């Protein structure tokens, strides 16, 4: 099974900061990488698919990049509603669909 590892596990940032989260796959997965946002007590929400395609309705301050084994989710200017946990997920070799362990973005 392909493993995906996120870093950092958590970070603290201020409103307006640029935030970057990294996801690394255990083998090349081309661009088969998705990003989800989850707020406390809520279901996950799809943000980005195919490494860099923004899901409909998601603000343009979110962007994704990368291919192969290394991927990045960037929030260009952190907003109060962006404080949440973010998960990456590979869909290259599935099943199983595997998720990263999550990155919690907290208020500094």
Partner 1 sequence: EVQLVESGGGLVQPGGSLRLSCAASGFTFSSYDMHWVRQPTGKGLEWVSAIGTAGDTYYPDSVKGRFTISREDAKNSLYLQMNSLRDADTAVYYCVRGDSSSRYPYYYYYMDVWGKGTTVTVSS
**Which residues of the chain form contacts with partner 1 (CB under 8 A)?**
30-32, 34, 36, 42-46, 49-50, 53, 55, 87, 89, 91, 94-102
- In angstroms, the CA 26 to CA 11 distance is 23
- In angstroms, the first-to-last Cα distance of the chain is 36
**Cβ distance to partner 1 smaller for residue 19 or 85:** 85
**Cβ distance to partner 1 smaller for residue 5 or 77:** 5
Q: CB 7 → partner 1: shortest distance, Å?
A: 14
Q: CB 77 → partner 1: shortest distance, Å?
A: 25
Q: Can you say how many angstroms the Cα of residue 44 is from the centroid of all Cα atoms in its chain? A: 11
Nearest-Å Rg of the Cα atoms of the chain is 13
């Amino acid at each position: 099974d392909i493993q995906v590892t996120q870093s950092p596990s958590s970070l603290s940032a201020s409103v307006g900061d640029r935030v970057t989260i990294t996801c690394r796959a255990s083998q090349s997965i081309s661009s088969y990488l998705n990003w989800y946002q989850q707020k406390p007590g809520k279901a996950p929400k799809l943000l980005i698919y195919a490494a860099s395609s923004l899901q409909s309705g998601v603000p343009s301050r979110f962007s994704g990049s990368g291919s192969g084994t290394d991927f990045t989710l960037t929030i260009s200017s952190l907003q109060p509603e962006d404080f949440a946990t973010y998960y990456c997920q590979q869909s290259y070799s599935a099943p199983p669909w595997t998720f990263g362990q999550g990155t919690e973005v907290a208020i500094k």
